[in-house]
């Protein structure tokens, strides 16, 4: 709630919450006034099975008191804890912000319990650690919790720009240090859009040439013309031979491994509209020791372990 960019939402939420509580108080009071004494209840006019009448007997007092207690509890809670827009509550409780937040306390307890184990893993180099069965059991759980949503639980990647981590095709390099750097600091990939520059015919020609680099069937004449444009516009990133550049994350176009789809339509859409890819950094979130363990796990996958 602290992320609101306008005070309007704080007032909007607060008015709704407090107005609802006030309305509930009024409703309970209204329903409990003029309570008939025992034996004075009157029929409501609802009759079943010929002579079974519904009477306007009041709710028991203990039941009404439970309603009041619930409403008072709600007010006390909103005073102590966040619940009214940007109001942080008297106790300043937070699930994730600040050194005394619930998240920070849970992380501190976990570090106290497991920190020594991760510290021992940190002493091992990544290739050696990737062959440690006990370490890889822990790494598997880390991967499933933090990485599988993008790369899949089997690390085989997903359509839409999430790489397969089980093969030997790497955008930024598959050496242990490179993998660890990718997880620690993340990556930001940008493929510029060339649709307007190339035009309809140029777009088709370059697509045919790109497909030809991996041995795909293509229009030979169009590919020949596309090669000229490729050398002018694309070779600075992908190289004159189309084998990519791991320093900037430019993919190898000759291996028939496609991050956004291998069909002619998908390749053409990539060239025309460009692509934006982002691998989030995990240095602050997980810490260097857990990232080191994750890097060993990913490295081991690419080695067939």
Taking only the tens place, the pLDDT of each residue in 8-53 is 888 888 999 999 999 999 988 887 776 666 666 777 778 888 788 8
Q: Do 36 and 117 have their domain in common?
A: no
Tell me: the pLDDT tens digits for 153-168? 999 998 888 999 999 8
Q: How many CB atoms lie within 10 A of CB 280?
A: 12
d(CA 302, CA 299): 5
Structure tokens at 152: 């899949």
Q: Do 149 and 39 have their domain in common?
A: no
Q: Do 158 and 179 have their domain in common?
A: yes
**Mean pLDDT, rounded, for 181-208:** 95
Q: How many domains does the chain have?
A: 3
Question: Which residue, of 49, 80, 111, is where some domain finishes?
Answer: 80
User: Quick one: pLDDT at residue 21?
Assistant: 94
249 domain-assigned? yes
248 domain-assigned? yes
Tell me: the pLDDT tens digits for 95-104? 777 767 777 7
Tell me: the pLDDT tens digits for 137-190? 999 999 999 999 999 999 999 888 899 999 989 999 999 999 999 999 999 999
Q: Do 115 and 73 have their domain in common?
A: no
97 domain-assigned? no
End-to-end Cα, the chain, rounded Å: 45
d(CA 59, CA 37): 12
Q: Do 113 and 45 have their domain in common?
A: no
Q: Do 162 and 293 have their domain in common?
A: yes
- What pTM did the predictor assign? 0.69
32 domain-assigned? yes
Q: Evaluate whether 156 touches 238 at the Cβ level (below 8 Å).
A: no
**Domain of 155: which CATH number?**
1.10.760.10
270 domain-assigned? yes
Q: Do 243 and 231 have their domain in common?
A: yes
210 domain-assigned? yes
User: Quick one: pLDDT at residue 285?
Assistant: 86
Q: Do 222 and 270 have their domain in common?
A: yes
Q: Do 161 and 272 have their domain in common?
A: no
88 domain-assigned? no
Domain of residue 226 covers 190-279
Q: Do 200 and 221 have their domain in common?
A: yes
Q: Do 286 and 171 have their domain in common?
A: yes
User: Quick one: pLDDT at residue 4?
Assistant: 58
91 domain-assigned? no
């Amino acid at each position: 709630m602290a992320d609101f960019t306008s005070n309007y939402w704080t007032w909007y939420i607060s008015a709704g919450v407090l107005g609802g509580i006030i309305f509930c108080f009024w409703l309970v009071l209204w329903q409990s006034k003029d309570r008939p004494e025992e034996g004075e209840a009157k029929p409501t006019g609802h009759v079943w099975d010929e002579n079974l009448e519904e009477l306007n007997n009041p709710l028991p007092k203990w039941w009404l008191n439970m309603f009041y207690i619930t409403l008072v509890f709600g007010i006390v809670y909103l005073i102590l804890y966040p619940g009214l827009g940007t109001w942080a509550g008297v106790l300043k409780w937070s699930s994730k912000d600040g050194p005394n937040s619930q998240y920070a306390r849970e992380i501190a307890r976990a570090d106290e319990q497991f920190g020594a184990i991760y510290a021992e893993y940190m002493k091992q180099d990544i290739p050696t650690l990737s062959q440690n069965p006990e370490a890889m059991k822990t790494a598997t759980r880390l991967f499933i919790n933090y990485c599988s949503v993008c790369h899949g639980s089997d690390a085989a990647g997903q359509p839409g720009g999430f790489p397969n981590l089980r093969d030997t095709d790497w955008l930024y390099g598959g050496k242990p240090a490179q993998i660890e750097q990718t997880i620690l600091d993340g990556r930001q990939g940008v493929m510029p859009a060339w649709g307007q520059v190339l035009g309809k015919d140029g777009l088709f020609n370059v697509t045919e040439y790109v497909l030809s680099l991996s041995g795909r069937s293509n229009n030979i004449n169009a590919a020949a013309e596309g090669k000229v444009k490729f050398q002018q516009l694309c070779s600075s990133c992908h190289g004159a031979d189309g084998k990519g550049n791991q320093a900037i994350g430019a993919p190898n176009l000759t291996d028939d491994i496609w991050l956004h789809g291998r069909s002619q339509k998908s390749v053409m859409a990539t060239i025309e509209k460009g692509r934006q890819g982002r691998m989030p950094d995990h240095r602050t979130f997980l810490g260097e020791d857990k990232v080191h363990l994750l890097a060993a796990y990913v490295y081991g996958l690419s080695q067939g372990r």
